[in-house]
Amino acid sequence: MAEELIITLPDDWHLHLRDGDLLQAVAPHRGTDWVHESALCSSSHFGRAIVMPNLKPPITTTAAAVAYRDSIMKTLPAGSNFSPLMTLYLTDKTSPEEIKLARRSGIVYGVKLYPAGATTNSQDEVTDLFGECLAVLEEMVEQNMPLLVHGEVTDPKIDIFDREKVFIETILQPLIKRLPKLKVVMEHITTKDAADFVESCSEGFVAATVTPQHLLLNRNAIFQGGLQPHNYCLPVLKRETHRQAIVSAVTSGSKRFFLGTDSAPHEKQCKESSCGCAGIYNAPVALSAYTKVFEEAGALDKLEAFTSFNGPDFYGLPRNTSRVKLAKTPWKVPESFSFSFGEIVPMFAGETLDWQPSLV
């Protein structure tokens, strides 16, 4: 059994950095109560990250994306080489000209489609994808600009555990049939249906990101020993059969799947409230968690492609040249991280993980 792995520096192809106090906390996160000063965080253990645009107000223009990127860069530690890759929030008012501007900017790498109410700050929804947004989607094909989708319908008549499957059937399949050259990333997939769908599409045009929580947890984790708000995320965790299917897809060596943590920090009091926020803060444990998945599947030889190759290859970007070491050294995840505004509880708080990353 390997006691140490050295892999190409990974990228995170789905990350929430928030803004304001939360941005100040999590982008440069190196907490002094951490196991080692070089412990993983959004900026120190990933070379690049696709940054989500669902702020208040959302990032709908290239100018706003530039300003948000500037805010992120100001939070990073001196000497950091972390590169935020910005996205735009798709609305009915997005124009083809904005897509051209985004491509020319050199800092926008995708456009995000959120169903209304599907996740945090997703109120500014698209009401007619094939009507209001068709010209924009066609321009995205011309500009080779990927569409990043939160793949769930939000019709209250649809069971929450079926929303990903229905989204594929009613939105994604018709979209790809109409625009087969549109590059699409199905974010944070959670079901066998999604894994099978991605595998059925043309390679190089449809891909998916996968989170640590959807690889390691099933929906029992939300309810074991009482309600567990820090295991609540959207899309919600699914049945064990779906978790196993996603693990099989990711560890198979397929180029269609790549790392996307969907790390989504919320203050502890917002998670543990009468109407708790959805989102799991997994950035500090992500690489340890992904390595656990691949080790348990007997597929450590396929870990580097998932973490470090498949994403940049799909986006047409160069692979990183720096390296990360993963040592088989058990370490305990802190119960929480304290900041001036409150606490943030990480995934696997208080638990011991086997693999510990550090920069080479």
Reply yes or no on whether the pLDDT at 44 is more than 80: no
Weakest-pLDDT range from 39-43, 279-283, 348-352, 353-357:
39-43
Q: Annotated catalytic, 238?
A: no
- The whole-number average pLDDT for the span 37-52 is 69
Active site residue 16: yes
pTM over 0.75: yes
Contact 153, 190 (CB under 8 A): no
Cis geometry, peptide bond prior to residue 312 (ω within 30 degrees of 0) = no
**Active-site pick, 183, 262, 266, 271:** 262
The one catalytic residue in 112, 165, 238, 266 is: 112
Residue 121, pLDDT above cutoff 80: no
Which tokens belong to 193? 């249906």
In the annotation, is 242 catalytic?
no
pLDDT for the residue 254: 98
Instruction: Considering the candidates 29, 45, 150, 165, report the single residue annotated as catalytic.
Output: 150
Q: Which of 321, 315, 313, 319 is nearest to 108 (CA)?
A: 315
Which sign does the torsion angle of CA 242, 244, 250, 252 carry?
negative
**Of 188, 214, 230, 238, catalytic:** 188
- If you ran DSSP here, which 8-state letter would residue 257 be given? E
Residue-averaged pLDDT of the chain: 90
Annotated active-site residue 188? The verdict is yes
Contact 9, 322 (CB under 8 A): yes
Choice among 16, 183, 242, 271 that is catalytic: 16
- The residues near 256 (Cβ < 8 Å, ≥ 6 apart) are 198, 199, 201, 203, 206, 207, 208, 310
DSSP string, 158-186: S-GGGHHHHHIIIIIHHHHHH-TT--EEE
pLDDT given at position 118:
53
pLDDT of residue 34: 31
* Separation of first and last alpha carbons in the chain: 21
Name which residue leads in pLDDT, 35 or 327.
327
Q: pLDDT, tens digit, for every residue of 148-158? A: 999 999 889 99
The predicted-structure confidence for 54-98, as pLDDT tens digits, reads as follows 998 999 999 999 999 999 998 888 888 899 999 999 999 999 999
From 14, 29, 242, 266, the catalytic residue: 14
pLDDT in tens, 127-154: 888 888 999 999 999 999 999 999 999 8
Going 25 to 27 to 28 to 30, the CA torsion angle's sign is positive
Asked about 112 being catalytic, the answer comes back as yes
Task: Specify the pLDDT at position 339.
Answer: 82
